[in-house]
Amino acid sequence: MVDRGDATEDGEDSAILIPFPEARRRRLEMPVTFDRRELDQILRIYGRMVAAGEWRDYAIDHLSDRAVFSVFRRTSEVPLFQIAKMPKLARRQGAFAVIAAGGIILKRGHELARVLGVFDRTLKLAEA
């Protein structure tokens, strides 16, 4: 990793070398976050469910190993669903997961849009 400072008066660039282990340690100390595109997709689903009267509140947690968007029916209850981003699982099972209140993983995958598709399906009672 090279940090380029301002050019000196005689036109030469100066560079500060940062050892690779130190750069890796700095990156690992940062919390995992949702980027703007991911939050846009999540908030679009959230807005639709709030309009339907099913969800009322949310919380976002940025932890060292994952980012979690929790959805609540009421603020004082446990979350109905958690939308989690876990980069360590990105190569194996996929970085994104939708987790139900009991801890059951409803859907996991590499693409957030597909994982959020679990909320598109609405089950309705069929009358005989």
Averages of pLDDT over runs of 10 residues in the chain (128 residues) are 52 71 70 90 93 91 90 85 88 89 90 90 62
Quick one: pLDDT at residue 126? 62
Quick one: pLDDT at residue 81? 92
Are residues 69 and 35 in contact, defined by beta-carbon separation less than 8 angstroms? no
Quick one: pLDDT at residue 65? 86
* Extended beta strands in the chain, E state: 2-4, 15-17, 57-62, 67-72, 81-85, 96-100, 105-109
Tell me if the pTM is above 0.85: no
Q: Which residues of 54-85 are buried (b: 16+ CB within 10 A; e: fewer)?
A: ebeebeeeeeeebbbbbbbbeeeeebbbbbbb
Quick one: pLDDT at residue 87? 85
Quick one: pLDDT at residue 58? 92
